[in-house]
């Protein structure tokens, strides 16, 4: 599935990134499949000089995990890049995600306020990680329960990360015993058959543009972001 432009003006554009697409190549690695940045450069060559590291991340203001999908902002010029970066840094952008997680989340509303750091010798993050440890806050609320009374129920969450740490939502939800469905890095290696991807989607970003306009950009989940359906025997499959 290819990326889709969902908003564009003279200063920036918003892309609905599909799950499985890497945003940019990892430094020092070559020969990887197409990335979002290579797809963007073929259509917007003017962004090749935009950003804090334009050779690696042209125009990219923030990031989404490869396995996640949803809204991603791309600056077309350096002034807009710095402006949008400042909004993320000062938490002036409202970010809303959708996630299917394992188990029945209680209470129905809550927040995880635990610093996150890197685990030494790996690329994983953890509440116990000592390297580059930073404050992290994730709020959530339950939108729906599925499979109540079965061996393994699931919860559908609206998630609002107040900070923007790498793997923040995945680490925080796992820390309270409800890893995201399809997450083999922070959850069990064995995943439900209905989960063909990481069930995490960046639904919307809301912020004020440089021109003073209040803007909310939304991206609907792709067809792989599904709801589980339960059979007579209580087993779950894609709805």
13-66 pLDDT, tens digit each:
999 999 999 998 765 455 557 899 999 999 999 999 999 999 999 999 999 999
Residue 236 resides in a domain: no
Which residues, 6+ apart, have CB-to-CB distance to 51 below 8 Å? 57, 58, 59, 60, 75, 78, 81
Q: CB pairs under 8 A, 24+ apart, for 31-39?
A: 36/3, 36/60, 36/72, 39/2, 39/3
| Sign of the C-alpha dihedral computed for residues 161, 163, 169 and 174 taken in this order | negative
Known catalytic residue: 65? Answer: yes
Report how far residue 78's alpha carbon sits from residue 67's, in angstroms, rounded to the nearest whole number: 28
Report how far residue 98's alpha carbon sits from residue 96's, in angstroms, rounded to the nearest whole number: 7
Residue 76 resides in a domain: yes
Which residues, 6+ apart, have CB-to-CB distance to 14 below 8 Å? 5, 6, 7, 8, 71, 72, 73, 74, 205, 217, 219
Among residues 57, 138, 153, 68, the alpha carbon closest in space to that of 105 is found at 153
pLDDT of 234: 61
Tally of domains in the chain:
1
Which residues, 6+ apart, have CB-to-CB distance to 235 below 8 Å? none
pLDDT of 120: 82
**Could you tell me the residue range of the domain that residue 106 belongs to?**
4-222
Residue 161 resides in a domain: yes
pTM for this model (two decimals): 0.93
Report how far residue 123's alpha carbon sits from residue 38's, in angstroms, rounded to the nearest whole number: 24
Cross-sheet strand order for the sheet of 131-134: 125-126, 116-118, 131-134
pLDDT of 237: 72
Residue 49 resides in a domain: yes
pLDDT of 215: 98
Residue 238 resides in a domain: no
Residue 60 resides in a domain: yes
Asked if residue 20 lies in contact with residue 224, where contact means CB atoms within 8 angstroms, the answer is no
Q: In which residue ranges of the chain is pLDDT below 70?
A: 26-32, 231-234, 239
Residue 82 belongs to domain with CATH number: 3.30.2350.10
Catalytic one of 9, 11, 33, 65: 65
Among residues 90, 76, 85, the alpha carbon closest in space to that of 48 is found at 76
Residue 176 resides in a domain: yes
Structure tokens at 148: 């109540």
Residue 216 resides in a domain: yes
């Amino acid at each position: 599935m290819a990326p889709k432009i969902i908003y564009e003006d003279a200063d920036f554009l918003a892309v609905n990134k599909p799950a499985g697409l890497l945003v940019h190549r990892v430094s020092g690695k070559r020969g990887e499949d197409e990335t979002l940045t290579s797809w963007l450069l073929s259509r917007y060559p003017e962004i090749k000089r935009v950003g804090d590291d334009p050779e690696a991340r042209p125009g990219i203001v923030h990031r989404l995990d490869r396995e996640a999908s949803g809204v991603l902002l791309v600056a077309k010029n350096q002034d807009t890049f710095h402006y949008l970066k400042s909004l993320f840094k000062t938490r002036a952008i409202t970010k809303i995600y959708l996630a299917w997680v394992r188990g029945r989340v209680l209470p129905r509303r809550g927040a995880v306020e635990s610093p996150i750091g890197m685990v030494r010798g790996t690329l994983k993050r953890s509440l116990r990680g000592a390297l580059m440890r930073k404050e992290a806050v994730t709020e959530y609320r339950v939108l729906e329960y599925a499979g109540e009374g079965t061996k393994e129920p699931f919860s559908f969450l609206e998630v609002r990360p107040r900070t923007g740490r790498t793997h923040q939502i995945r680490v925080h939800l796992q820390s309270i015993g409800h890893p995201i469905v399809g997450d083999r890095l922070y959850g069990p290696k064995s995943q439900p058959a209905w989960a063909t991807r990481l069930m995490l989607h960046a639904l919307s970003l809301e912020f004020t543009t440089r021109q003073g306009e209040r803007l909310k950009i939304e991206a609907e989940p792709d067809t792989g972001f599904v709801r589980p359906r339960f059979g007579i025997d209580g087993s779950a499959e894609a709805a």
